């Protein structure tokens, strides 16, 4: 078949975004065209450019159509008909999360768009983009992926419509869905198509899902059907539990779910990539800049332009987080040499001023960690290696991560390195060397941590460590800062309105903060995003693993009062705080909450403004590039 044998090609800077740019390379036809809801920033922290560079390095002719106007098919024809397939992603965030606040109000900004403007992508972008592509090129296969498609691959609860929706693959009428990190499945698909295999015959690639008229042969796990999930919340919770135990790629089975007369068939997850493979990804020739056609700054790029990703994956297993369902629980770390080389290259860029904004991943202090029992790890179905207690097989040795920080500081041209992607403080208790390196050299005055709540009844539902663990860490942090003569602060993140949280729990949280001398400046109102345990509990009112009933605050009024209690120190919130105290019979707490600051306490600040949120808003984004902190 034409072009079945390919030669790797040298990249002349940006991936083509139109045929004029493609012809500069001598191309009249592309193999694969990506369509994304984000602006095109050629940086490894953005998923589509990373995948495009990867496939390009394997010899495929690749293009990117970024934020096309979906109101007609013409923008989707900018790169012509690809030889193999279109690859569609809504962007680094679910498009509904990007468009609406937790109160379902339209946002006025979009950090992944030039000028931070809202409206550059449609609602349910995966479905809309696929529809336009099918209108333009009906016979060209469309592969959907990214976080939106990945977390909506099964029947799922949609907060914005307050109902259970079908699989995104069936709603979009796409030909294949890639879930999780897409390098391995996309490369296998492209290779097999280039060798002449028919698209419809390729049904066995790990990390993919497809629609079928009948169940495939072999061992599989059949979920309650879409129709059952719609009619029964018990069936919805049972389906979630069954999906959760099939996340380990070493032991997972094929999972199927009937939708009317068709089946959504999901193959087991892709295997984690090796250190060598991850190093090769980050060695690709990224320009590390937005496409030159943009004339306005892109906030998400400004946030990560000076950052370096050290690893992917997270074994924390927080109930409200989707990282484990997208990047996996296994920590996949780059080599120290690869990271130091990227730092050296970053220091040589003309716009670099010496400060690295982040050296980390989804959870910074998980770099280099792994399961110490391969046999047990191959069968493990725990959702978290840390909750309810650290797994005895988890290797928490911090030698590698502490050494990386020390060596990174010595890179020529690098004046300061911050670790701003967040840390697990319960893990830090086992990492004294990393803690000393972190507090001594990498805090920049503020360190992000995410206790999310300090009432044990709520943190249990969240699958987070409780108040005692946070207190131990807070004291250790302040003592170490004092020992080295630095005045440094914690940046604690908290969630209001989470399943399991009542007004009285927020009163106890507010009192705890008051007694610790903390003032939180931003509060995240819980948003039930697709695919998380918290969303399952929000919809069903039951923990699917224990069967216990879970209280769910759903009215805007109650959620507003919960948020007000956490902002008790803001004069404009005092009236609502008093109302909340009266409603839960805790008027006795008013005198303590509204008294002057307790003398002798070291202040611990709340979150600072981040791109994507307007100053003064009391929320933070839950997804974004590469899963740093709470992003992607």
Last residue in a domain, options 404, 426, 444:
444
336: domain CATH number is 3.30.750.210
Q: In this structure, is residue 329 part of a structural domain?
A: yes
Same domain flag for 81 and 229:
yes
Which of 566, 574, 557 lies closest to 510 in space, CA to CA? 566
Give the angle subtended at the CA of 278 by the CAs of 274 and 284, to the nearest 5°.
Answer: 150
pLDDT of residue 433: 97
Omega of the bond leading into 87 within 30 degrees of 0 (cis):
no
In a domain, 283, yes or no: no
- Helix, strand, coil share of the chain (percent; to 5): 35, 15, 50
Closest CA to 43 of 622, 612, 625, 629: 625
User: Are 327 and 313 in contact, with CB atoms under 8 Å apart?
Assistant: yes
Residue bearing tokens 């495939």: 216
The last residue of a domain, from among 241, 266, 291: 266
Q: Within a domain: residue 104?
A: yes
Q: Is 314 among the annotated ligand-binding positions? A: yes
Give the dihedral of Cα atoms 167, 171, 172, 173; nearest 10 deg: 100
At residue 7, the pLDDT reads 46
Is 318 annotated to bind a ligand? Reply is yes
pTM: 0.91
State the first-to-last Cα distance of the chain, in angstroms, to the nearest integer.
38
Rounded Cα distance between 253 and 95, Å, is 30
pLDDT digits (tens, 9 = 90+) for 395-414: 999 999 999 999 999 999 99
Residue whose entry in the numeric block shows the structure tokens 């320009």: 287
Together in a domain, 466 and 434: no
The stretches in the chain having pLDDT less than 50 are 1-11, 597-623, 625-632
Could you tell me which of 444, 617, 593, 589 has the C-alpha nearest to residue 519? 593
pLDDT at 12: 53
Please state, in angstroms and rounded to a whole number, the distance separating the CA atoms of residues 292 and 311.
29
Domain presence at residue 284: no
Q: What is the pLDDT of residue 241?
A: 97
Q: For residues 379 and 310, is the Cβ–Cβ distance under 8 A?
A: no
**From residue 197, how far is each of 8, 177, 404 by CA, in Å?**
21, 18, 45
Residue 98 lies in a domain: yes
Verify that 532 and 544 share a domain, yes or no: yes
**Domain's final residue, options 409, 444, 479:** 444
Residue span of the structural domain in which 164 resides? 19-266
62/148 same-domain check? yes
435: region left, alpha or beta (phi > 0 left; psi from -120 to 50 alpha): alpha
The reply to whether 334 and 318 lie within a common domain is yes
Residue 480 belongs to a domain: yes
Length of the chain: 632
Q: What is the CATH number of the domain that holds 524?
A: 3.30.750.200
118 and 246 housed in the same domain: yes
DSSP assignment string, 228-283:
HHHH-HHHHHHHHHHHHTT--TTTPPEEEEEETTEEEEEPPPPPPPPHHHHHHHHT
Identify the residue whose tokens are 């946002």. 107
Is residue 386 located within the same domain as residue 454? no
Q: In the chain, how many domains are there?
A: 3
Query: Are 75 and 221 members of one domain?
Result: yes
Q: Are residues 211 and 88 in the same domain?
A: yes
Residues 155 and 142 placed together within one structural domain of the fold: yes
In a domain, 242, yes or no: yes
CB half-sphere exposure, 364, CA atoms < 13 A: 29
528 and 614 inside one domain: yes
Let me know if residue 280 belongs to a domain: no
Which pLDDT score, from 0 to 100, does residue 251 have?
95
Let me know whether 454 and 529 are in one domain. Answer: yes
């Amino acid at each position: 078949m034409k072009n079945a044998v390919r030669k790797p090609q040298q990249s002349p800077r940006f991936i083509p975004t139109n045929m004029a740019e493609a012809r500069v390379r001598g191309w009249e036809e592309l193999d694969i065209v990506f369509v994304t809801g984000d602006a095109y920033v050629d940086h490894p922290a953005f998923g589509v450019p990373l995948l495009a560079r990867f496939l390009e390095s394997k010899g495929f002719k690749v293009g990117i159509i970024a934020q096309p106007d979906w109101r007609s098919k013409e923008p989707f024809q900018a790169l012509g008909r690809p030889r193999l397939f279109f690859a569609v992603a809504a962007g680094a965030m679910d498009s509904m999360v990007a468009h609406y606040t937790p109160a379902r109000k339209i946002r006025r900004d979009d950090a992944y768009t030039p000028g931070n403007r809202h409206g550059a992508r449609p609602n349910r972008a995966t479905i809309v983009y696929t529809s336009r592509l099918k209108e333009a090129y009906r016979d060209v296969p469309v592969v959907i992926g990214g976080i939106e498609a990945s977390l909506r691959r099964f029947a799922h609860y949609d907060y914005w419509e307050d109902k259970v929706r079908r699989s995104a693959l069936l709603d979009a009428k796409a030909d294949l869905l890639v879930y999780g990190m897409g390098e391995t499945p996309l490369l296998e698909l492209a290779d097999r198509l280039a060798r002449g295999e028919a698209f419809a015959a390729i049904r066995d690639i790990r990390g993919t899902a497809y629609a079928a008229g009948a169940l495939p042969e072999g061992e599989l796990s059949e979920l309650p059907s879409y129709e059952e999930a719609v009619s029964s919340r018990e069936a919805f919770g049972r389906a979630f539990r069954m999906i959760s135990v099939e996340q380990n790629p070493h032991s997972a089975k094929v999972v199927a779910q009937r939708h009317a007369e068709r089946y959504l068939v999901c193959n087991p997850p892709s295997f984690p990539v090796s250190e060598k493979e991850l190093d090769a990804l980050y060695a690709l020739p990224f320009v590390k800049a937005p496409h030159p056609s943009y004339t306005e700054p892109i906030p998400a790029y400004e946030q990560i332009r000076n950052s370096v990703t050290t690893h992917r994956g997270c074994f924390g297993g927080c109930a409200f987080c989707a990282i484990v369902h997208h990047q996996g629980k296994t920590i996949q770390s780059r080599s120290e040499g690869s990271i130091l080389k990227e730092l050296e290259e970053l220091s040589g860029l003309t716009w670099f001023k010496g400060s690295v904004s982040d050296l980390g991943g989804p959870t910074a202090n998980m770099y280099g960690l792994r399961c110490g029992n391969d046999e047990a790890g191959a069968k493990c179905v725990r959702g978290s290696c840390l909750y309810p207690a650290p797994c005895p097989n988890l290797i928490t040795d911090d030698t590698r991560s502490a050494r990386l920080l020390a060596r990174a500081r010595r890179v020529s041209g690098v004046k300061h390195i911050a670790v701003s992607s967040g840390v697990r403080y319960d893990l830090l208790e086992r990492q004294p060397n990393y803690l000393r390196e972190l507090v001594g050299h990498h805090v920049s005055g503020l360190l992000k941590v995410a206790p999310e709540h300090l009432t044990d009844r709520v943190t249990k539902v969240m699958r987070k460590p409780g108040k005692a663990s946070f207190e131990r860490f807070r004291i250790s942090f302040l003592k170490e800062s004092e020992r080295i003569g630095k005045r440094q602060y914690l940046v604690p993140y908290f969630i209001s309105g989470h399943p399991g949280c009542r007004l009285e729990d927020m009163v106890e949280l507010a009192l705890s903060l008051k007694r610790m001398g903390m003032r939180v400046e931003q509060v995240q109102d819980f948003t039930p995003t697709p695919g998380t345990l918290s969303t399952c509990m929000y919809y069903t009112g039951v923990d699917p693993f224990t069967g216990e009933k879970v209280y769910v605050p759903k009215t805007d009024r109650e959620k507003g009062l919960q948020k007000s209690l956490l902002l008790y120190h803001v004069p404009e919130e005092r009236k609502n705080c008093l109302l909340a105290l009266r409603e839960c019979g805790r008027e006795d707490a008013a005198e303590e909450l509204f008294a002057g600051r307790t003398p002798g306490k070291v202040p611990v600040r709340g979150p600072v403004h981040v791109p994507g949120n307007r100053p003064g808003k009391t929320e933070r984004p839950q997804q974004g590039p590469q899963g740093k902190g709470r992003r992607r």
